[in-house]
Amino acid sequence: MNRLIYLDYAATTPVDPDVIAQMVQCLGMDGIFGNPASKSHYYGWHAGQLVDRARQQIANLIHAQAKEIIWTSGATESNNLALKGIAQSDLSKGKHIITSQIEHKAILDTCHELEQQGFEVTYLQPEPETGIIHPEMVRDAIRSDTLLVSLMMVNNELGTITDIAAIGEITHAHGIYFHVDAAQAAGKIAIDVDAMHVDLMSFSGHKVYGPKGIGALYMRTRPDLKLKAQIHGGGHELGCRSGTLAPHQIVGMGAAFALAKQYLHAEQLRLSVLREKLLHGLEKLTSIHLNGHATQHVANYLNVSFSADNAARIIQSIKQVAAVSSGSACNSNLAGSSHVLASLGRSTTLAENTIRFSFGKCSSEAEIDMLLVAIVENKGIPFITFD
């Protein structure tokens, strides 16, 4: 069976070979396999040292302190811990939360759960077509009882960037906690949690060429910021998240974030060339609608809706040669079109004829050429040069 061109890096990334090598060293008897919580022997000490180093590697990418990093099983758990932990820590601070209609389901479903517990949630509608959440939208939604604002930095379907720094200025001025889902932003855009006035930030290892099953939550050091633990049993991770730490996964995530910091800018420049090549190639072939902002985006994603009469055939031809997505991988088992595209004002027909292309380390211009040629051949139209 021929391997498909992989263009679904937003769903998950392959683990970097250098990351794998470091993880393997934490598995066997000859490696550093101990329980970091075991403080009475060197097996535990060595494991603890690696965990601390990885904590610092996460902190380095976002200009934080290592002690502000809490390990979790992934961004979904980090999001749950941030929102539920804040909401349930002190009910006297207010019961109003602001988020948006185009957040990841880990945020939306958590907000729906909190609504069942008596909280009120304002779901901001993004700017049509672009998916931008403007700072003034947040400012206008703030109430006297607003406890928390939670927004993603880079939308997982569109690649659109939210102006987190500007929104952080607003939340900071009002004394409101600010949580940011940065699962799709880490390693793609510069992050400075202090400059952006972010209090909580969620990360995932497997979106940054690290292993699955590991994530982190940044929690700013401030006296009034406390989280109610959602997993109990041992009081690990500052009492916020109990459970034995997995050094091999943590080391993998730390190594991946260190590599991401090193190559961030160069990789964005390289991928921007691929994105523009594919976008212009598709525009030559057929009628498409760009979903997301034309300039305020990371280079890794291209989300387009096909509007020609033969849209279904074009999409079929793409899926015959490339692994792509129709939306978020977390929504793939749900019926119906993307909630993100619906919030942008896209019709059901356009939303159903949409593909999210996402690029990564192994993506190349040759692969883009192969994809475009395959579309031409399957459409039965004359060959076009895509230079």
Please report, in tens digits, the pLDDT of each residue of the chain (387 residues total): 568 999 999 999 999 999 999 999 999 999 999 999 998 999 999 999 999 999 999 999 999 999 999 999 999 999 999 999 999 997 788 999 999 999 999 999 999 999 999 999 999 999 999 999 999 999 999 999 999 999 999 999 999 999 999 999 999 999 999 999 999 999 999 999 999 999 999 999 999 999 999 999 999 998 889 999 898 988 788 888 989 999 999 999 999 999 999 999 999 999 999 999 999 999 999 999 999 999 999 999 999 999 999 999 999 999 999 999 985 555 544 556 799 999 999 999 999 999 999 999 999 999 999 999 999 987 644 444 444
Which one from 111, 240, 330, 362 is the annotated catalytic residue? 330
Phi first, then psi: give them for residue 30, nearest 5 degrees.
-80, -5
Matching residue, tokens 């994530």: 215
Phi first, then psi: give them for residue 69, nearest 5 degrees.
-105, 125
Alpha-carbon gap, residue 273 to 368, rounded angstroms: 11
pLDDT digits (tens, 9 = 90+) for 120-158: 999 999 999 999 999 999 999 999 999 999 999 999 999
Interacting residues of 241 by C-beta distance below 8 A, sequence separation 6+: 70, 71, 72, 77, 81, 217, 229, 230, 231
Alpha-carbon gap, residue 346 to 126, rounded angstroms: 12
333 torsion bin: left (phi>0), alpha (psi -120 to 50), beta (else): alpha
The total number of residues shown for the chain amounts to: 387
Q: Check residue 237 and give its pLDDT.
A: 82
- Report CA dihedral (167, 169, 170, 176) to the nearest 10 degrees: 100
Alpha-carbon gap, residue 116 to 93, rounded angstroms: 18
Check whether domain 5-11+263-379 has CATH 3.40.190.10, yes or no:
no
Q: Residue 306 in contact with residue 286, Cβ under 8 Å?
A: yes
Three-state SS for 70? strand
CATH 3.90.1150.10 domain extents, the chain: 5-11+263-379
The overall pTM is greater than 0.85: yes
Is 240 one of the annotated active-site residues of the chain?
A: no
Alpha-carbon gap, residue 54 to 77, rounded angstroms: 19
Q: What is the CATH number of domain 17-259?
A: 3.40.640.10
Cα distances (Å, whole numbers) of residue 55 to 215, 283, 305, 367 = 11, 44, 40, 36
DSSP character at residue 66? G
CATH 3.40.640.10 domain extents, the chain: 17-259
Token digits of residue 85: 């932990």
Cα distances (Å, whole numbers) of residue 202 to 38, 108, 179 = 27, 15, 8
CA-only gyration radius of the chain, Å:
22
List the beta strands (DSSP E) in the chain: 5-6, 69-72, 96-100, 120-124, 146-152, 177-181, 200-204, 215-219, 288-290, 301-306, 322-323, 354-358
